[in-house]
Amino acid sequence: MLLAIVIIIVQNRINIEKINSLDKLTGAYNRNLLCNNIQEEINSYNKKGNSFYLVLVDVDDFKLINDLYGHLVGDKVLINVVEIFKKELKNKGYVFRYGGDEFLIILNLINKEDAISVANKLKEVVKKANIIEGESISLSMGLVNYNDKLETIEELINRADACLYKSKQLGKNRVYSED
């Protein structure tokens, strides 16, 4: 009997942790975990030199999708994008819901060429997916590498945001990376 109660308590705790760490709509990790995970990657970089990249992703013209098809279809787009990210990333990284239609991906133990390749593959798989019948969904991405032991998490995310902005300026549906 006591063992059964302990198992129930442990399962409840696991469920609560899951609820507190996942975005309710998409199933991506939420912002509660984002800074902790980035800090873990920074610590790994500082101790072992393990490289990692951030990819800030925006669903292009998402407001227009909501306006044309409704919010339920917009939700479907976000859910499907995250499902594609999770499937394609496997052990290469983690996806977080950063804002309404923005996601942040941490790619770990990877070089720049591979990071760009992974980001481009995600973009292409989403574009080819049949999320909305007769429409393709495009993504703009800003990609940065953590490379300075003095850089804060906020500065790192701001650099990714600047790259995302540049991607959109250049015509959307692209990955923009710092040189």
Predicted TM-score of the model (pTM): 0.88
Number of domains in the chain: 1
Active-site positions read: 101
Could you report the per-residue pLDDT of 97-150, keeping only the tens digit for each?
999 999 999 998 789 999 999 999 999 999 999 999 989 999 999 999 997 777
Could you report the per-residue pLDDT of 41-91, keeping only the tens digit for each?
999 888 888 889 999 999 999 999 999 999 999 999 999 999 999 999 988
Rounded CA separation 164/116 (Å): 13
CATH code, domain carrying 157: 3.30.70.270
Name the residue range of residue 91's domain: 2-177
